[in-house]
């Protein structure tokens, strides 16, 4: 079965083009199965991550999956609007801090696979389950940044980089909010947020995956030649031979999980739970480590070649509790610029 999963997922992966953001819907046909064999997923993952996993889940279980995509913040807002009549069964993706901040939307579930998971990334009340571990990193263009590359979070406040930092809008991207919260915990000054925003020179990107494209495709010194993104996005660029180099901040970085959550009051709760169990299986966790360059939440499956880094004691509860305050400060800066 393991070899079969590898073959099916690898074949599916070859047919996919990486992408993120924008709405995409896999609609039911006239031959959709009975209601009890359906599952509706909202996901912020790129298609190259979710599609092979969803297809294999359908193959193994016979459950028909409908997928709708968007940014984490937009999906959480949509779930809030639909709270009285949920249209979704499972949220697949989203940073731990974003999910914790909106945990009232979810139906707690403790997967049997929890005993195999790194305890440091488990949610205490089981309102969501972790899927992968996403360290926040800095990426830079080694062709254009040959001298004095950035060293860490403090570099992002240095005016020498003003207008040259690629950063996704944290009001849209959950991963980008995690990066912002990490920087504010590392550099806890009162004006850290404002100083960093000024250094962006009023420019943000739609999604976290756009950061690597912006940096790797930079053509001149005035372009965005450094950026803040997730480890898998940066490593994917390196593996593809693009102009990107990965930097693990000298001060340390967060290595929080992205997660999965069953929607409270959903129509297909048992199918959503089955998907979580499947996503935490050894087959899928091994697959995301090898093909998606994501750190699995099962420590026994972490590849030996995974880069060592200094992991911060990231205060998830603080990041979750302060999310709306921080984002409102960000919106105020946008409105004033």
Res 44 pLDDT > 70: yes
The proportion of the chain whose per-residue pLDDT surpasses 90, expressed as a percent, equals 84
197 and 52 in a common domain: no
- Strand residue runs (E) in the chain: 38-43, 64-69, 90-95, 106-107, 129-140, 165-166, 226-230, 245-247, 255-263, 295-296
Q: Considering the entire predicted model, what is its pTM?
A: 0.85
Give the span between the Cα atoms of 121 and 133, in whole angstroms. Answer: 8
206 and 70, same structural domain? Answer: no
pLDDT at 220: 67
Is the pLDDT assigned to residue 19 strictly greater than 50?
A: no
Same domain, 138 and 248: yes
Same domain, 125 and 140: no
Co-location of 120 and 74 in the same domain: yes
Same domain, 272 and 318: no
- 179 and 62 housed in the same domain: no
Q: What is the pLDDT of residues 82-130, one digit of tens each?
A: 999 999 999 999 999 999 999 999 999 999 999 999 999 999 999 999 9
Q: Contact, 76 vs 98, CB < 8 A?
A: yes
Number of domains in the chain: 2
> Cα separation of 231 and 336, whole Å?
32
Q: What is the CATH number of the domain that holds 23?
A: 3.40.190.10
Mean pLDDT, the chain, whole residue set:
90
Residues 208 and 324 placed together within one structural domain of the fold: yes
| Same structural domain, 225 and 78 | no
Q: Domain residues for 297?
A: 2-133+257-301
46 lies in the same domain as 155: no
């Amino acid at each position: 079965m393991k070899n079969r999963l590898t073959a099916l997922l690898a074949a599916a992966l070859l047919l996919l083009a990486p992408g993120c953001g924008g709405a995409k819907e896999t609609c039911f046909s006239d031959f959709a199965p009975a209601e009890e064999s359906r599952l509706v997923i909202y996901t912020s993952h790129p298609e190259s991550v979710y599609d092979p996993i969803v297809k294999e889940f359908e193959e193994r279980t016979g459950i028909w999956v409908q997928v709708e995509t968007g940014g984490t913040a937009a999906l959480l807002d949509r779930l809030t609007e639909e709270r009285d009549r949920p249209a979704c069964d499972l949220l697949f993706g989203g940073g731990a801090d974003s999910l914790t901040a909106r945990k009232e939307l979810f139906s707690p579930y403790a997967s049997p696979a929890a005993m195999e998971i790194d305890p440091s990334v488990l949610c205490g009340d089981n309102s969501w389950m972790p899927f992968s571990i996403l360290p926040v990193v800095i990426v830079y263009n080694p062709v254009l940044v040959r001298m004095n590359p950035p060293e860490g979070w403090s570099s992002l406040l240095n005016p020498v980089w003003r207008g040259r930092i690629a950063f996704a809008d944290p009001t849209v991207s959950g991963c980008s909010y995690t990066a912002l919260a990490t920087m504010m915990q590392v550099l806890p000054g009162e004006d850290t947020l404002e100083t960093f925003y000024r250094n962006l020179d009023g420019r943000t990107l739609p999604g976290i995956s756009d950061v690597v494209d912006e940096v790797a495709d930079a053509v001149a010194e005035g372009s965005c030649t450094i950026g803040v993104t997730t480890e898998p996005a940066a490593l994917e660029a390196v593996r593809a031979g693009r102009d990107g180099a990965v930097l693990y901040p000298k001060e340390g970085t967060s290595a929080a999980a992205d997660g999965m959550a069953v929607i409270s009051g959903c129509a297909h709760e048992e199918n959503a739970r089955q998907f979580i169990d499947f996503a935490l299986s050894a087959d899928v966790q091994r697959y995301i480590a090898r093909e998606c360059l994501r750190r699995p939440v099962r420590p026994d499956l972490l590849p030996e070649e995974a880069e060592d880094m200094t992991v911060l004691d990231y205060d998830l509860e603080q990041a979750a509790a302060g999310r709306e305050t921080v984002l409102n400060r960000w919106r105020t800066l946008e409105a004033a610029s």
